Amino acid sequence: MPRKIKEDAATYVTDAGVASTCLVTGQRALADALRKRLGGAKLQVRNQLADVIGDRDCSLYVIDTRVGDMKLWPALVLKDRHAESRRWLFLVPKSSDAACRTPMPPNSMSLELTRSTEELTDSIEKLVDPESRTRIAEVIYVAGIEAFFIRMGNARTYLLPLRELAEVDSSPVIRTSVARDRQYFRVMQASGNRLEVPWDVILYHCEPEYEYYKGKQPLEDDSTRRIGEKVRQMRMARGLSVEALARKAGMQRPNLSRLEHGKHRPSLETLERVARALGVGVAEMVAGGDRG
């Protein structure tokens, strides 16, 4: 049965079953915001610290240090033999708060409550699901500025100019859609031209913190970049989308995209699979020049 949690005469319900994250708080706004961000199936909410003693359902426990029974920390929790195997995140009024000076389990961190609810939920989501940055939540094409407004799974938003995508033509964009796995989005133009834009292309153009951001010193060597460019040329010469070639080569689409952008040094096995899918020999694919 779902658990009911009361706060100032308001009642709300958490999802039953095993969750990846447990939030201990008396603040309904924070609980609702995090539930909306993570999804109910991934979150349990409890309103007192005593409720997590001996609990083993979650891998991350987020403790709002404003809860009424925070005085129980650390005695009862640290007495639990499972405490050290979990991750703990403490939400504290300020970094010098007394709660931070008490003994903590090895896997513990803290965030200041001076952050906005959105910033807190963003930080918590990254701890729960580090790969959320690779998933596309929403894409809207803004014709007036010829750019895509993109919101990722970690709530980061970007504007990706249409001109940055090499496969587009001069006709208007008439439709966009996010793929089922949220790893890329599709674009259709009035000419009938279709293209797919993976998450790593978005981050490459828009996210300075991304390890392969275009403004950073390239980490790949010339041969890796040259092979990627050659694969892309051959794919386009055959009228294949990234998705179509990845399917023929038996690869994950994002992995092929990284290869084409010179962000992944392919193994001989991968080269053989891609070459076979393109109908060429490995030697032709890795050779210099512009033959397609």
Tokens at 224, concatenated: 């890796």
CB-based contacts of 38: which residues, under 8 Å, 6+ apart?
A: 20, 21, 124, 125, 128, 129
| Residues, the chain | 292
- List average pLDDT for each run of 10 residues in the chain, which is 292 residues long: 34 40 90 81 86 78 89 74 76 66 70 81 74 87 95 84 88 94 91 89 86 65 82 90 88 80 78 91 73 44
pLDDT (0 to 100) of residue 140: 96
Alpha carbon distance 141, 159 (integer Å): 9
pLDDT (0 to 100) of residue 292: 45
Alpha carbon distance 201, 222 (integer Å): 19
Alpha carbon distance 36, 24 (integer Å): 16
Tokens at 244, concatenated: 């179509």
Is the preceding peptide bond at 74 cis, omega within 30 degrees of 0? yes
DSSP 121: H
pLDDT (0 to 100) of residue 128: 73
| Structural domains of the chain sorted by starting position, each given as residue range(s) with its CATH number in brackets | 4-128 (3.40.50.2300), 133-206 (3.30.2020.30), 222-286 (1.10.260.40)
pLDDT (0 to 100) of residue 123: 77
> What is this structure's pTM?
0.51
Q: What angle do CA 149, 151, 21 make, to 5 degrees?
A: 175
Spatial contact of 277 and 249, defined as CB atoms under 8 Å apart? yes
Residue with tokens 């386009």: 236
Q: What is the pLDDT of residues 121-144, one digit of tens each?
A: 877 777 777 677 888 989 999 999
Q: What is the pLDDT of residues 60-69, one digit of tens each?
A: 889 998 898 8
pLDDT (0 to 100) of residue 166: 75
Nearest to 148 by CA among 104, 85, 195, 86: 195
pLDDT (0 to 100) of residue 17: 37
Spatial contact of 275 and 287, defined as CB atoms under 8 Å apart? no
pLDDT (0 to 100) of residue 172: 95
**Beta bridge partners of residue 44, listed in sequence order:** 22
pLDDT (0 to 100) of residue 2: 36
